[in-house]
Structure 1
Amino acid sequence: MEGAGVEDGKNVCMNDLQGLCGNVDGECSRKEKVQVLQEGEEVYSAVLTQTDLGANKNKFYIVQLHKDITGKEYYVWHHWGRIGYKGRHMEKKCGLLEAKKIFLQKFKDKTGNEWEKREQFQKKRDLYDLMKMETKFEFPQMEKELKSIAMQTSKLDKKVQELVNLLYNTEVIEKTMESMGYNQKQSPLGKMTLQQVMDGYAALKEVELCIENEASKEELTVACTKYYTKIPHKFGGVCGRREEDSEFMITLVFGFSVDIFFIVAALAALYDIQMTGLKSKEHDSMYYTFFFAIMKRPPLITTQEQIEAELELLEMVQKYLNGTHESDHNEYTMEMLDVFKVSKKELPFEDVGNRRLLWHGSRLSNWAGILTQGLRVAPPEAPSTGYMFGKGVYFADRSSKSCNYCRTNKEENVGLALLCEVALGESHELVAANKNAHQLPPGKKSVKGLGQIAPDSKENLTMSCGTVVPLGKGIPTGVQNKNGITLRFNEYVVYDTKQIKLRYLVKVKFNWK
């Protein structure tokens, strides 16, 4: 029944499958007229996957028991195909007892497990795995409630309202997930659980160990297959090509960005905010979750002294943004739209000295999580591959180096960058990549990756609080890594988030050439 699946037309990626627990499959033409049968806690819906990179298998199978809204007719729904493609489907109309019998037998045939014992599910060789679904919240419903609440009158400054709306832009999050191999148009983003992502990270770590230990291609393929089983998504039809070497496999697997952890965490944070603060009498409570204060020209401040101080700060941020946009990054120019003060007093700050005001950029989908929970180090489960100096929080003294990580383009040309007060302490200076750099030598509190270009220290600005702003024009340093690639610009890495204080959020328009 599965072998001749239609693989054209509208794609079905794995996150189309994520929302199916209790929801009618979106491919069902009568989805408005039927519902998934639920008896007490038992929901007759199963999403199954089978992945084997060595055999170029990456399949899904959905089986559901539907009843029409009158409760008089029952159907067994089947939908199968290759992940990333539309696939094929069929349904059978029958009585309730026969429908249950077909459903239970299909589940057993595909998985080798009894439906009644699915809580003790054991993956069987050459059979399908069962995806465990998260049903706590649905993103479309969350967005619907947000829109209804947004109709209420807000007392916030218009610029702050625009910023919060930008942070809650579900279309941006959907596009980000699509770029990672997920199609979000039919199902809730929140169906991917943090535990699922953590399991995926653990599987990626096995892949990393295979690479480090120069394991056989067969062992590497098994490890990669395990990863795609934990977080299934489209990998195309190339995996069956036996001539592909380990490098291709590495690129394939690590192409799925670790940003997904932060996106899912952000979704959880947004849900918590929506379910608590936004349902309170004070509509603007989401503002208090982020603690923004708008900086404007002219500022809404009463005394001349305060006005001058605020304008001086704005001018500094403007100079820091445009004056440290290096010519290497010439695909765009940057225009400062707004600057917001960020106050997260509940986040601890440990001043170990040598404080610098440094840039950190990230894609829009990550900012709700960053601004509610602070900057975070990737979890231990995540592999260290892709981090030049190990898993930490990375900063730069050149605006364009950090703003490249905003991942904007000509269509989505507005991004956010953060200026943070970073207590570097005594830095461990490195010129070569070291994934174990987080194991700092005694007395060192951070890592500084030395670049070929660094700010002229003669042009440093010291703020009234004692924090140094490296505003200087970039000048050659003479630094050279004789054994490999040399960084073009400095990088600063801290491994303890208590050394970071969020100060200013800069809204930037990228004028792409």
Structure 2
Amino acid sequence: DIVKLLLNKDYSPDDNQTPTQQPVNYRRGPRSKARKGKFFLGVTTNDTTTDTDEASNDKTSKKFQRTSLVNLNATDIHGRTCIHHLIQPFPDGSYTNNIDLLRLLHSCGASLTTTDLSGLTPLDYSIKNNCQHLYDELTKLIRNKTSSIKTTKEKFSINDPNKKLLDKIDFYNDAQNLINEYISNHPTNKSNNIEYKVDRLSGMSLTGEILIDTDKNEPYDVRLTKTDVNYGTYGLYNFYRMQIIKHKSKNNLYFLFTRWGRIGNDEGQHQLTPYSTFDECRKEFLKVFREKTGNSWKDTDQFQTKPKKYSLVRLNEREMKKYSNVPIDFDRLLAEHEHPSSQLQSSIYKNFIRTLINRQAFRNNIHKTQLDIEWMPVSQLKRETLEKARDLLIKIKETIEKKNNFATENQHKKTSDQKNEIKSILESIYQYTNEYYTLIPQNGYSDEKLAVIDNEDLLKAQEKILDDLFELELSYKILLGAQANLKSISPLDYLYKSMNCQFQGLNKDDIDSQLILRYIWTSAPDIQIEQIFKIARPNEDERLTKCNLNNHYLLWHGTGICNLISILTRGLLGGSLTARATGSLFGTGIYTADTFAKSLGYCSGVKQNDGERCFMLLCEVALGNIKEVGIQRNNDEEEEDDDDDDDKPLDLKKFQSRKGVGRRIPDPKHTITRNYGVQIPLGQLIDNKDFGGNYYGLNYNEFIVYDEAQVALRYLVQFRR
């Protein structure tokens, strides 16, 4: 409309594009209130227009009457015309929806073939900026007879000033060495055996010592668990611990210590029984062990779990040693006098890495996982254990599907064989649940019935816990590795090397910064931006290219600090590490959004006196063909596509992503395309006229892809709220 007004002073946008002799009145609207707070990037443009694009074609454009004498072929100091600026209105990009304006200017006499002082035509800029839609339209309008070419994408570039510091670090090995060294530095008893930890509730932590079975070279110290979910009102989720303790200063005084209760229920109950001879004490130990487990003590290497009996918690020698849980010493990691100076250039990078080393964030993440750290210390988390737990969830998922199918097919009175079959299915679910909880002991079940993982909601909840544990395990091991190398390298440098991810801090005047800031403020105008980084992980560009999918968008992904360390190290995963190998659970995918406000709810950071410091990822996502959920459909569309259900598996032969349609969407008029082929929706939020969801529908768009190869990390935003 502005361009038409410049071309014809009598043009009125309210009169169906017909010239009128009525004067046009202009009224200055109220000024927008200045933003409060101190921002890293300053001010950027906000367009509050909410009208949708008018549908136009060549005929409509050609009917427009030009009356002004404005020279449409005038050039600036660089020799560029208005068409040059239309094709490239800002560096390395253009608007996605500017075809109508191109047609209008062309119909009014604007040249499409003028070269600027660099010898480039508008067509050249459309190729340079990877604007295929503009290239196709220009070729059509100038009737270019040359064979059509496809625009080429520029490679996403990054200039990390610390790149030379990147080299491969085996943080898992470093962490294990620290654990081994930590344990070896503790004194042993007189017989040079390992000094195992006497249970403190025995009251003999100082006066007693655990005896060793010399035939097995194992301590008389066992931990048992029983997780029978099909028992009683509350279910059984119990532990049983038993030790033979010898008094250090009194001969012929032995004790059988037993402690039992529910895992996660504080200390439980305990009993200390004295014996005058070791043989009597050992005899009772062997008797109780067989009663509780159904196994012989001498055959623990061939231990088999029996029905309604306890399972043996297998702790290796290191895990049973005293002080086996090695904590992260956050104070030493952050104390500059404890280690060499960081080689990272600029305080921007140092402060960012320092924020990731945060006791509060790790403590919150441990609490979120509901992990019972008495039975599964965080330092002893192992990928192998988590992978076994993931496999059990896959088995539970398959068994739940089998149960649901059986119930659907056998709704009438069941035969004896059918009853036996459903009983077998239910017993399998119980068995897998018991095995899972044995691997991943969790708090919070002492006052309620232990949940049988027999439906999709419970399964999804446990999958989320496992995802968090995978990320916690990696982050914890990296910091333990940094702690192991305090004398030789700064923890900041160690963490940077371990993540093996490039970072480039952007300046406030960079075009990337200005575009991202506008992207943020369209939905979250009060957010205070501290820093924006360009980021790049190894091989993600190549992986994204091999997908060979269209519809690339920059989309938001919110996360917490512990998760961020894992994401920067491994990338965004569609599920935990074994999901690709063993099959993914329903609903598993990478979730992103085209509004900052939507992803903001998934961010958790470090709370400080002046707010909470958080991080948000901005990712390039190859959406391909999109399956939309929650839009209005006409009758024909409903017949063709009646599976508007986000819980149903996506048909990956037809679609490569799923989109949950929201009530409020970015105005598509202001979507831009960058020269590396990605679109960025920069429009102010408007009501979505196609929204077809119910009262519980999404407020904002949500995008899900199921293959991590479709996602590449591009930017990291550090902000305060």
Regarding TM over 0.5, the answer is: yes
Kindly indicate whether residue 689 of structure 2 is the aligned counterpart of residue 501 of structure 1.
no
Q: 1:504 to 1:29 in 2, by over 3 A?
A: farther
Kindly indicate whether residue 466 of structure 2 is the aligned counterpart of residue 282 of structure 1.
no
* 1:374 CA drift (Å): 1.0
Q: 1:434 aligns with which of 646, 653, 666?
A: 646
8 A contact 1:46–1:130 mirrored in 2? yes
SS in 2 for 1:315: helix
- Which position in structure 2 is the counterpart of 1:339? 532
- Which position in structure 2 is the counterpart of 1:222? 430
Q: For 1:323 and 1:394, locate their aligned partners in 2 and report how far apart those are by CA, in whole Å.
A: 20
Kindly indicate whether residue 544 of structure 2 is the aligned counterpart of residue 350 of structure 1.
yes
Q: For 1:455 and 1:187, locate their aligned partners in 2 and report how far apart those are by CA, in whole Å.
A: 46
- Which position in structure 2 is the counterpart of 1:238? 448
Q: Per residue, is there more strand in 1 or in 2?
A: 1
Q: 1:308 to 1:249 in 2, by over 3 A?
A: closer
* 1:65 CA drift (Å): 3.9
* 1:375 CA drift (Å): 0.9
- Give 1:398's aligned amino acid: T
* 1:273 CA drift (Å): 6.6
- Give 1:384's aligned amino acid: L
Q: 1:63 aligns with which of 219, 227, 242?
A: 242
8 A contact 1:65–1:75 mirrored in 2? yes
Q: 1:420 to 1:98 in 2, by over 3 A?
A: farther
Stretch deviating more after TM superposition (283-292 or 88-97): 88-97
SS in 2 for 1:239: coil
- Which position in structure 1 is the counterpart of 2:379? 190
* 1:359 CA drift (Å): 0.7
- Larger relative contact order (Cα-Cα within 8 Å, sequence gap ≥ 6): 2
Per-residue CA shift, 1:117-153, capped at 9, x if unaligned? 2232211111112223467788953513982685213
Kindly indicate whether residue 287 of structure 2 is the aligned counterpart of residue 105 of structure 1.
yes
SS in 2 for 1:132: coil
8 A contact 1:168–1:368 mirrored in 2? no
SS in 2 for 1:502: strand
Q: 1:464 to 1:473 in 2, by over 3 A?
A: same
Question: Equivalent residues in 2 for 1:83-482 (5 A)?
Answer: 83-86=263-266, 87-92=268-273, 97-133=279-315, 141=326, 143-144=328-329, 147=332, 150=335, 151-152=338-339, 153-156=341-344, 157-184=346-373, 188-209=377-398, 211-212=400-401, 213-214=403-404, 219=426, 222=430, 224-225=433-434, 227-233=436-442, 234-239=444-449, 254-256=460-462, 258-268=464-474, 270-271=476-477, 274-275=480-481, 279=485, 281-283=488-490, 284-290=493-499, 291-293=501-503, 295=505, 299=507, 308-309=509-510, 312-325=511-524, 334-347=527-540, 348-351=542-545, 352=548, 353-378=550-575, 379-380=578-579, 384=585, 387=587, 391-407=588-604, 413-431=612-630, 432-442=644-654, 444-481=655-692
Q: For 2:478 and 2:605, locate their aligned partners in 1 and report how far apart those are by CA, in whole Å.
A: 28
8 A contact 2:333–2:483 mirrored in 1? no
SS in 2 for 1:232: coil
Q: For 2:238 and 2:366, locate their aligned partners in 1 and report how far apart those are by CA, in whole Å.
A: 20
- Give 2:514's aligned amino acid: E
Q: 1:376 to 1:255 in 2, by over 3 A?
A: closer
8 A contact 2:662–2:702 mirrored in 1? yes
Q: 1:204 to 1:260 in 2, by over 3 A?
A: closer
- Which position in structure 1 is the counterpart of 2:47? none
* 1:469 CA drift (Å): 1.5
* 1:409 CA drift (Å): 9.6
8 A contact 1:262–1:366 mirrored in 2? yes
Q: For 1:401 and 1:239, locate their aligned partners in 2 and report how far apart those are by CA, in whole Å.
A: 35
Query: How many percent identity over aligned positions?
Result: 25
Q: 1:323 to 1:149 in 2, by over 3 A?
A: closer
8 A contact 1:134–1:193 mirrored in 2? no
Stretch deviating more after TM superposition (74-83 or 263-272): 263-272
8 A contact 1:180–1:257 mirrored in 2? no
Q: For 1:251 and 1:232, locate their aligned partners in 2 and report how far apart those are by CA, in whole Å.
A: 19
Q: For 1:32 and 1:508, locate their aligned partners in 2 and report how far apart those are by CA, in whole Å.
A: 50
* 1:407 CA drift (Å): 4.5
* 1:202 CA drift (Å): 3.9
* 1:370 CA drift (Å): 1.1
SS in 1 for 2:601: helix
Unaligned runs of 5+ in 1: 1-20, 300-306, 327-332
RMSD of aligned residue pairs (Cα, Å): 4.1
* 1:253 CA drift (Å): 6.0
SS in 2 for 1:143: coil
Taking structure 1 as the reference length, what is the TM-score of the superposition?
0.76
- Give 1:477's aligned amino acid: N
Q: How many residues align?
A: 465
* 1:472 CA drift (Å): 1.5
Q: For 1:134 and 1:438, locate their aligned partners in 2 and report how far apart those are by CA, in whole Å.
A: 43
Unaligned runs of 5+ in 2: 1-194, 408-421, 631-643
SS in 1 for 2:292: helix
Q: For 1:281 and 1:478, locate their aligned partners in 2 and report how far apart those are by CA, in whole Å.
A: 61
Per-residue CA shift, 1:239-285, capped at 9, x if unaligned? 28xxx9x9997656654452433433442454257438962833223
8 A contact 2:482–2:494 mirrored in 1? no
* 1:112 CA drift (Å): 0.9
Per-residue CA shift, 1:281-338, capped at 9, x if unaligned? 3322321223353526xx4xxxxxxx743xx323333332232339xxxxxx533233
